[in-house]
């Protein structure tokens, strides 16, 4: 079974004090594309270490292989390794109770490889950064801290790199108008008082909530797209979402939109939870170890920038 792969979208900007810098004219006449390649080479040669703000663990950024660059497309990509040290852990073979390996928190570090893809347009003050999302791996913050440290080490102390979530406001409009509505979850954060109420509200329970779902393997009808679109754009008060025609009220409604194989979850009430994470599993090819191939990750990342960020029109061949 193929893994579910999520890619997170970010913008990378360089500030000269408080002014955004045109990336191809970084530091006057330097191209930040070349500077970033030298930064990646430095990460490959020297593992970057920084303290965690949450606890006493240490965070590490590394490259097992050199990043690949393409000057014609102004892209850099590869796999960064995000590591955590200072934790004690045990390794066991699945299904067995005996410990295969027990770590020493003073010297052992757990690393996870994450795909990244950076595109630096010549005419913009920001680049498009794609990073594979995995649980409990703060690769974005690690990359930002290491890049700023490298800027200072190279004598560019007046410059600051900032990596921020990137979710273009027009992404929703395009996905809703051109994409497919795959799923709607109506969520009520109340516990039913009786069994009759439980079954009348829906049998799907999780952590004290009731969820009623409407799903389609292809796309829900235009009626539901219009219905959800109106709810999403409407202002909701008092922590509840009143359905049209006063049918019922819910605490949250989540829904999935799919465009060109890319799936994104949106939230009607708490829109701040709508992070720039897009599922791209169906567009990827996997190797014999059930890992996505680099070539397919590169193709999907490029497509993600075109479809979701720059919002270029779709051009389909006949």
Q: Which residue has the higher pLDDT, 266 or 238?
A: 266
Q: Which residue has the higher pLDDT, 168 or 58?
A: 58
Please check the confidence at residue 66 and state whether its pLDDT lies above 90.
yes
Please check the confidence at residue 1 and state whether its pLDDT lies above 60.
no
Residue 299 has what pLDDT?
A: 94
What value, to the nearest 5°, has the Cα angle with vertex 131 and ends 127 and 135?
A: 150
Task: Please report where in the chains the tokens 């066991």 appear, as a residue.
Answer: 92
What global pTM score does this model have? 0.72
Domain coordinates of the chain in residue numbers? 6-166, 171-274
Residue 166 has what pLDDT?
A: 78
Residue 178 has what pLDDT?
A: 87
Nearest to 204 by CA among 221, 187, 219, 220: 187
Q: What gap in Å lies between CA 76 and CA 33, rounded to an integer? A: 8
Q: What is the mean pLDDT of the chain?
A: 82
Residue-wise pLDDT for 214-232, tens only, equals: 999 889 999 999 989 988 8
Residue 191 has what pLDDT?
A: 59
Percent of the chain clearing pLDDT 90 (strictly above): 37
Residue 316 has what pLDDT?
A: 38
Q: Which residue has the higher pLDDT, 159 or 61?
A: 159
Residue-wise pLDDT for 163-207, tens only, equals: 988 765 567 888 888 899 999 998 887 656 666 665 565 545 444
Nearest to 152 by CA among 39, 37, 13: 39
Residue 311 has what pLDDT?
A: 54
Burial of 202 from C-beta contacts in 10 A (0-12 / 13-18 / 19+): middle
Buried/exposed 88-99: b ≥16 CB within 10 Å, e otherwise: eeeeeeeeeeee
Packing angle of the helix pair 139-153, 32-45 (nearest 10 deg): 100
Residue-wise pLDDT for 266-313, tens only, equals: 888 876 666 678 888 888 999 988 899 999 999 999 988 887 666 555
Q: What gap in Å lies between CA 143 and CA 65, rounded to an integer? A: 16
* Residue 183 CB partners (closer than 8 Å, separation 6+): 213, 214, 215, 216, 255, 256
Please check the confidence at residue 115 and state whether its pLDDT lies above 90.
yes
Residue-wise pLDDT for 14-29, tens only, equals: 999 889 999 999 888 8
């Amino acid at each position: 079974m193929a893994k579910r792969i999520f890619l997170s979208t970010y913008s990378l900007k360089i500030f000269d004090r408080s002014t955004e810098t045109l990336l191809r004219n970084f530091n006057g006449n330097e191209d930040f594309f070349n500077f970033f390649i030298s930064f990646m080479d430095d990460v490959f040669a020297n593992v970057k270490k920084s303290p965690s703000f949450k606890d006493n663990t240490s965070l590490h950024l590394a490259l097992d292989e050199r990043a690949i660059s393409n000057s014609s497309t102004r892209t850099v990509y590869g796999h960064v390794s995000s590591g955590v040290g200072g934790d004690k852990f045990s390794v066991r073979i699945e299904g067995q109770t005996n410990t295969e390996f027990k770590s020493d928190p003073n010297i052992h570090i757990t690393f996870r490889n994450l795909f990244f893809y950076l595109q630096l347009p010549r005419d913009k003050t920001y680049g498009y950064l794609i990073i594979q999302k995995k649980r409990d791996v703060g690769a974005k913050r690690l990359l930002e801290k290491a890049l700023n440290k490298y800027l200072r080490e190279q004598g560019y102390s007046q410059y600051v790199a900032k990596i921020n979530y990137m979710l273009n406001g027009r992404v929703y409009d395009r996905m809703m108008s051109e994409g497919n509505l795959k799923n709607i979850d109506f969520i009520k954060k109340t516990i039913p008082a009786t069994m009759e109420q439980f079954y009348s509200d829906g049998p799907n329970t999780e952590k004290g909530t009731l969820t009623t779902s409407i799903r389609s393997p292809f796309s829900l009808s235009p009626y539901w797209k219009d219905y959800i679109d109106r709810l999403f754009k409407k202002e909701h008060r008092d922590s509840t979402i009143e359905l049209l025609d006063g049918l019922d009220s819910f605490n949250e409604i989540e829904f999935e939109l799919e465009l060109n194989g890319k799936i994104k979850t949106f939230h009607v009430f708490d829109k701040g939870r709508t992070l720039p994470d897009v599922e791209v599993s169906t567009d990827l090819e996997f190797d014999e170890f059930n890992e996505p191939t680099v070539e397919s990750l590169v193709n999907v990342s490029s497509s993600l920038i075109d479809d979701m960020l720059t919002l270029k029109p779709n051009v389909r061949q006949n």
